[in-house]
Structure 1
């Protein structure tokens, strides 16, 4: 008999992804629900964090970057978005944005391939990219136009075919190149680049993308943690970033 979708998702997240060290510890919460059922589903592993919600008897549970909800007796788990109808806020998506923003910040720009404007950047966008993805290549062919709009573009590697694939090996070669910006530009043009290996963050970045819910490339993470899947042309992206900045302040 197949596991329910929720349990399968829990098991995948828990087995593939490391806990976020910046998340609050479950032991620090004033009151905890019964975790026996969910820990059984996790094969004995504990969730990354548990905290009470505004709804009495309902707890937020963080598992591998995913947000779930658990009843106080630990019997019922909910997978979906929690909405505050008085403020029209999507509390779950706000939490996901916060987690994504912290996770990207923890990576550090020194572990990314960065294309920045000549002057001060108006916006910073972190892009999970695949060397062989058609729309990733189209996006990179316009990198100067993104920079002209004042957008700093920071690449994290997400070879969609997984660890050990040809795209994965190309991403490693880019990272190990003497000039990563030149190497990724050539690779995205379809040109051959020297195959190299070295200590690299490609697998860690791929796993981070999975943890944050990346399912395709390009996937962009804005400064406030908002995720935008797919290709957006330079001018439209600048307009979207301006609207987003006005509508939703960046996370502290």
Structure 2
């Protein structure tokens, strides 16, 4: 009787745990061949039977159980009218930002913080400068602003060198504000997180600056005025 019960338990487990049938080694190999250097963080059943959700850094892919077919895109729940993929990506972004940590960001905090955003910025981007010129308005709304660098011209560009000089300045907040106003800073180099910021921005699908990431991991592309941003954050 115990043997029969054990067999029945395994049968039920097989039905409720489809991940047991996923060839994780094949899926990992397929993705490593497709994206050399990428690291698979997790593999678990997707909402669609026969597909597996694969997390790599700040990206989500879907794979067949044998790893032969890979899919990248948005998965929606048509009944609930919910973007399943984006909801999960938001959680992944939060984890990624926590790994970077505030010591590797330039942070402007209000006296009383109600909300927090992380902003990828380019010193020479017009709307980035407009946003920062209104930093006091964001602080007045109780929004903590955490800056990370994304010089769109790429590594080694003037914008990149400015970002490094700001980071290496004795007063980073003051240096950032001055550079946003177009003032020339003393050129400096030191150990800095600019490359790390850029890599993360690319993982997040950066297509322009500024890019605002909310505390819940949602992305707001482009400049958003302080009052409007406060309303968005209040309704998250």
TM-score grouping bracket, smaller chain normalisation: 0.7 to 0.9
Q: CA deviation at 1:31?
A: 4.0
Q: CA deviation at 1:90?
A: 1.1
Is 1:190 aligned to 2:182, yes or no? Answer: yes
Q: CA deviation at 1:65?
A: 2.0
Q: CA deviation at 1:46?
A: 5.7
Determine the structure 1 residue equivalent to 2:22: 32
> Structure 2 CA distance, aligned partners of 1:241 and 1:39?
37
Q: Which runs of 5+ in 2 are unaligned?
A: 1-18
> Structure 2 CA distance, aligned partners of 1:195 and 1:239?
39
Helix, strand or coil: the match of 1:214?
coil
Change (3 A) 1:64 1:44: closer
> Structure 2 CA distance, aligned partners of 1:185 and 1:45?
36
Q: Which runs of 5+ in 1 are unaligned?
A: 1-28, 245-252
Q: How does 1:147-186 map to 2 (within 5 A)?
A: 147-186=139-178
Change (3 A) 1:132 1:73: same
Helix, strand or coil: the match of 1:182?
helix
TM-score relative to the length of structure 2:
0.85
> Structure 2 CA distance, aligned partners of 1:208 and 1:54?
27
Q: CA deviation at 1:184?
A: 0.3
Is 1:81 aligned to 2:71, yes or no? Answer: no
Q: Deviations over 1:15-63 (max 9, x none)?
A: xxxxxxxxxxxxxx64423425444333596633321112221001223
Is 1:52 aligned to 2:45, yes or no? Answer: yes
Q: Deviations over 1:93-150 (max 9, x none)?
A: 01110110111111111211111112x2110011000000000000000000110111
Q: How does 1:201-216 map to 2 (within 5 A)?
A: 201-216=193-208
> Structure 2 CA distance, aligned partners of 1:121 and 1:45?
36
Change (3 A) 1:127 1:45: closer
CA-atom RMSD, angstroms? 1.7
Count of residues paired in the alignment: 215
TM-score relative to the length of structure 1:
0.80
Q: How does 1:101-112 map to 2 (within 5 A)?
A: 101-112=94-105
Determine the structure 2 residue equivalent to 1:63: 56
> Structure 2 CA distance, aligned partners of 1:130 and 1:174?
12
Q: CA deviation at 1:214?
A: 1.6
Determine the structure 2 residue equivalent to 1:248: none
